[in-house]
Chain A
C-alpha cells in the first residue's frame, strides 16, 4: 500500500497510519463518476453500498470461466461452481465466527427474517405468546411478525425509544415475561444510526427463556460482529449493504434451532430423497435452500467480505466514527437544521430535518450538486410517527467517504436553506 504524504485528502493522524483513503477510493470505480457536472458524493450507503472492483471482477470471472449449476454435477464446471459456492459460505461463517453449516443463503435480510418467521415462528409461536420488537425497526422486522401474530393470535409488543432514539434496558426488562417467546431487534438503526445494547438484551432474553434474532442489515458493515460472543440465536444480513451484489444475503442460525425448524420452501437441493409417499429433507443448511441459488451472488459476497477483512473492520469503524463526528459538528452550526437520532452510541447515519424545507426538495437540490442522499421514511414509518415528522433527509457514511465530501454536502444544504428562506 503506497502512502502519499501530499494527498489533498484529510485523514486524521491516527487513521492515517493504516488508512489510505485515496487507494480505497480508487478501488470503487463508480466513485469516479460525475453527476450533473459534479463529482459524485455518495452518501446513501445505508440504502446500498458501492462495489469494489474485486467484487465486480469476481462476478465477471464466475460467469466467464466458472459458471455451472452446483451440487451433484460430476463435470469440471459443476465441481468448480460447487466449491466456490461452499467456500463462500466458509468465508461468510468465518467473518462472523460461525460454523458454515449455520449459514443459509437468502436474498437478503428481509428474506432471512421471513424465513425465521415462517419456519421457527409458525412452528413454535402460538396463541397468547408475545414477540418483542422496538419502535425503530425497519418494516422488514415489523410486518412479517404482524402477519404471524395475525395468523397465530400471538401478541406483538413494542419497546419504545426516547427522544434521542435510544431504548432503555429497564423498559426491556419490564416487558420480558413468561409469555415472551421471541425478541427481534435491529442492531443498528437504519434511520437513526443508534447502536442498540444488544449483548445485554440477548442475555436478558435468554434468562427469560426466549429466542433472539439480531437484524444486522446495518451493523455488519460498520462494527465487528461475533455471533458466538453475542450468543444471538439468529443473525440476518443483506449482501448489497456489505459491498456485495444485490439479491444475496444470509441467515445465521444456531444449529439446534435450524435442525428443529421445518423447511422454508420445497424443491430441488433441499431434499435427500423424494417419493410420492414420503420425502426426506436434506440436512442443514441445504434444507433451507430450495432451487438453484444465486451462485454468482455468493461468490461476489465472499469477495466483498475478503475485501473488508483486508482493510479491517475495526479500522473502518474508527474512520467512519471520525467522519460522523465531523459531520455532526459541522451541521451543529446550522440553526435551521435538527438532527433526528442523537443516541450517545451511534454510527454512520446523519438523519435530519430543516425547519423551512421538505426533505424531498432537499434531495432534489443536493442531487443537482452531485450529492446522493436519501429522503423519506426509510422504511421506518413508526420512527417518523415518534418524531412527528413526515420524513427525514439522511446522509449515510461509508469508509470511502471523505471530510471534503461532507463539506460539499453541508455547503449544498446551506444553499437549499438560503434558496427557501
Chain B
C-alpha cells in the first residue's frame, strides 16, 4: 500500500496541488464548461481560448482534492499549443491510463507528463477525481463545436 500510495501522490502531483499552473479566470475564453463530482462536492471550471483549431490558452479554477487539482493543472500545461483533435485524443488516452486494469502493463513511453497518473488505477474511488478536469475540458470543446455546426 505504501508504494501504491507513493505512486498516487508523486512529488509532481503534490507540487501541482500546491502551486497549480494556469489557475484563475479567463475573460476572453470561447469554450467553457463546469464540472462537478456530486460524490465529493468537487467542482471545476475550465476555460479555453481556441483559434483556428489550436488551443491558445487554458485556465481552470474551482475546489477539489490534490488529485483533481493536480490533474487539472497538468492538463492545462499539456493542452496549450495542441489542436482540438489532439486534445480529444489526449482525453481518450488519459481515460485509458486511469481505467486500465492494474494487472495490465501500460506503455508509458508516449504519455509524457500524463504518466504520473498511472498510479490512479490502483484506487478506483479516485478515478473520478483524476478525470474530472479532462471530462470538463472535453465538454467545453464539444459544446462549442456542437453549437457551431448548427
Chain A positions within 8 Å of B, measured between CB atoms, are: 36-37, 357-361, 364-365, 368, 375-377, 381, 384, 390-391, 419-420
User: Which A residues lie within 8 Å of B39 (CB)?
Assistant: 376
**B5, A360: Cβ atoms closer than 8 Å:** no
A370 to chain B, nearest CB (A): 9
User: Which A residues lie within 8 Å of B17 (CB)?
Assistant: 420
**B1, A36: Cβ atoms closer than 8 Å:** yes
User: Which B residues lie within 8 Å of A357 (CB)?
Assistant: 66
Q: In whole angstroms, what is the CA distance A358 to B69 when docked?
A: 10
Residue from B1, B69, B125 whose CB has the most chain A CB atoms within 10 Å: B1
> In the complex where A381-B41, A390-B41 touch, is A361 in contact with B66 (Cβ < 8 A)?
yes
Q: In whole angstroms, what is the CA distance A376 to B64 when docked?
A: 11
B129 to chain A, nearest CB (A): 6
In B10-32, the 8 Å CB interface with A consists of 14, 17-18
Option from B42, B68, B69, B126 in Cβ contact (under 8 Å) with A364: B126
**A359, B40: Cβ atoms closer than 8 Å:** yes
Question: Does B9 sit at the interface, judged by CB under 8 A?
Answer: yes
> In the complex where A36-B1, A364-B5, A364-B126 touch, is A376 in contact with B66 (Cβ < 8 A)?
no
User: Which B residues lie within 8 Å of A37 (CB)?
Assistant: 1
| Count of inter-chain pairs, beta carbons less than 8 A | 55
Query: Given A360-B64, A390-B41, 12 other A-B contacts at CB below 8 A?
Result: A37-B1, A359-B65, A361-B9, A361-B66, A368-B2, A377-B40, A384-B41, A390-B40, A391-B41, A391-B42, A419-B14, A420-B17
Q: In whole angstroms, what is the CA distance A364 to B40 when docked?
A: 13
A394 to chain B, nearest CB (A): 13
In B118-141, the 8 Å CB interface with A consists of 123, 125-126, 129
> In the complex where A390-B63, A420-B14 touch, is A360 in contact with B40 (Cβ < 8 A)?
yes
**B5, A365: Cβ atoms closer than 8 Å:** yes
User: Which A residues lie within 8 Å of B64 (CB)?
Assistant: 358, 360, 390
Q: In whole angstroms, what is the CA distance A365 to B4 when docked?
A: 11
Question: Does B90 sit at the interface, judged by CB under 8 A?
Answer: no
B83 to chain A, nearest CB (A): 33
> In the complex where A358-B64, A368-B2, A420-B66 touch, is A375 in contact with B123 (Cβ < 8 A)?
no
User: Which B residues lie within 8 Å of A375 (CB)?
Assistant: 40
Question: Does B88 sit at the interface, judged by CB under 8 A?
Answer: no
**A419, B40: Cβ atoms closer than 8 Å:** no
CB closest residue in chain A, given B4: A368
Option from B1, B18, B43, B67 in Cβ contact (under 8 Å) with A361: B67
Q: In whole angstroms, what is the CA distance A68 to B74 when docked?
A: 59
> In the complex where A360-B129, A364-B123, A390-B63 touch, is A376 in contact with B1 (Cβ < 8 A)?
no
CB closest residue in chain A, given B8: A364
Residue from B63, B65, B125 whose CB has the most chain A CB atoms within 10 Å: B65
CB closest residue in chain B, given A385: B41
